[in-house]
Amino acid sequence: MSVNQAEDPRKVTTHRLQQMKERGEKISMITSYDYTMASIVDEAGVDVILVGDSASNVVAGNMTTLPISLEQMIYHGKSVVKAVNRALVVVDMPFGSYQISPTEAVRNAIQMMKVTHADALKLEGGVEIIDAVKQILAAGIPIMGHLGLMPQSINKYGTYNVRAKNDAEAEKLLSDALALEEAGCFALVLEKIPAALAKRTSETVKIPVIGIGAGGAVDGQVLVLHDMLGMTKGFSPRFLRRYADLNSIINDAVSRYVKDVKNSDFPNETEQY
Ligand code: KIV
């Protein structure tokens, strides 16, 4: 049975996310990369769909998010937007598309918005990318910031360990969050940081803060769809709650299909013309 959890069927906007934070209503966000999954996720009532560059890992099979291209993100973004009626759709700007110069960043951002018809874009980084953020915002494109563990910078850190555990890094994260808010970002993602720091950040900035591995005292949560559905194997960080075991379900279905084909049990008389 499919269930639409959304109490308000109207299209989610950045303005509505702000109202949700103000009245203490939690924001649900999840990733999607294709039409079919996005239509299921949207119908289930999620508030924000992130076309994450995690597509590089879970769809394209890369070790990191770095290889995915602008064209590939546009392809995923376009496929998702076509399926969605209610959720706000945010597309990740891929590595290399906004770091070279603010002019190039705004050109790529405009291209992404024009072709995908998404509602907003997400960029990783704080003060280092603030000029690009400001120029994209000046073009009228809403931006969601992303701080803490920033997978596009994995080669700088070398590990996916919890970020901002010491005071200096925590203060830097807070000042980055304030800078992104002041520039005009409509929301922030905080990935894999101590829960106390995430709470402090969400109390400091007025815009919604969405956490992944950042504890419960923030304004919403995001998970990667393939992880929370139990499709991916061998990835079990503490913050991940698996809501299904699709890996086993799919394996079982495909195994039974293979068996039926081998035994000439499929198709039967009613399954042919
Ligand atoms: O790409 C992605 O899926 C993300 C989430 C982990 C927030 O950025």
SS (H, E, C) the chain: CCCCCCCCCCCCCHHHHHHHHHCCCCEEEEECCCHHHHHHHHHCCCCEEEECCCHHHHCCCCCCCCCCCHHHHHHHHHHHHHHCCCCEEEEECCCCCCCCCHHHHHHHHHHHHHHHCCCEEEEECCHHHHHHHHHHHHCCCCEEEEEECCHHHHHHHCCCCCCCCCHHHHHHHHHHHHHHHHHCCCEEEEECCCHHHHHHHHHHCCCCEEEECCCCCCCEEEECHHHHCCCCCCCCCCCCCCCCCHHHHHHHHHHHHHHHHHCCCCCCHHHCC
Q: Is the pLDDT of residue 102 over 90?
A: yes
pLDDT digits (tens, 9 = 90+) for 187-211: 999 999 999 999 999 999 999 999 9
pLDDT, tens only, 21-55: 999 999 999 999 999 999 999 999 999 999 999 99
1 pLDDT more than 70 = no
Residue 20 has pLDDT above 70, yes or no: yes
Using one digit for the tens of pLDDT, what is the confidence trace for 117-159? 999 999 999 999 999 999 999 999 999 999 999 999 999 999 9
Indicate the pLDDT class of residue 7, thresholds 50, 70 and 90: confident
Ligand 1 atom showing the smallest separation from residue 53 Cα:
1
The pLDDT of residue 8 is 84
Tens of pLDDT, residues 242-261: 999 999 999 999 999 999 99
Ligand 1 atom with minimal separation from the 54 CA: 1
- Ligand 1, residues at Cβ distance < 6 Å: 31, 50, 52-54, 92, 189, 191, 212, 222, 224
Question: In this predicted structure, what is the pLDDT of residue 234?
Answer: 87
User: Out of 43, 124, 181, 191, which one is annotated catalytic?
Assistant: 191
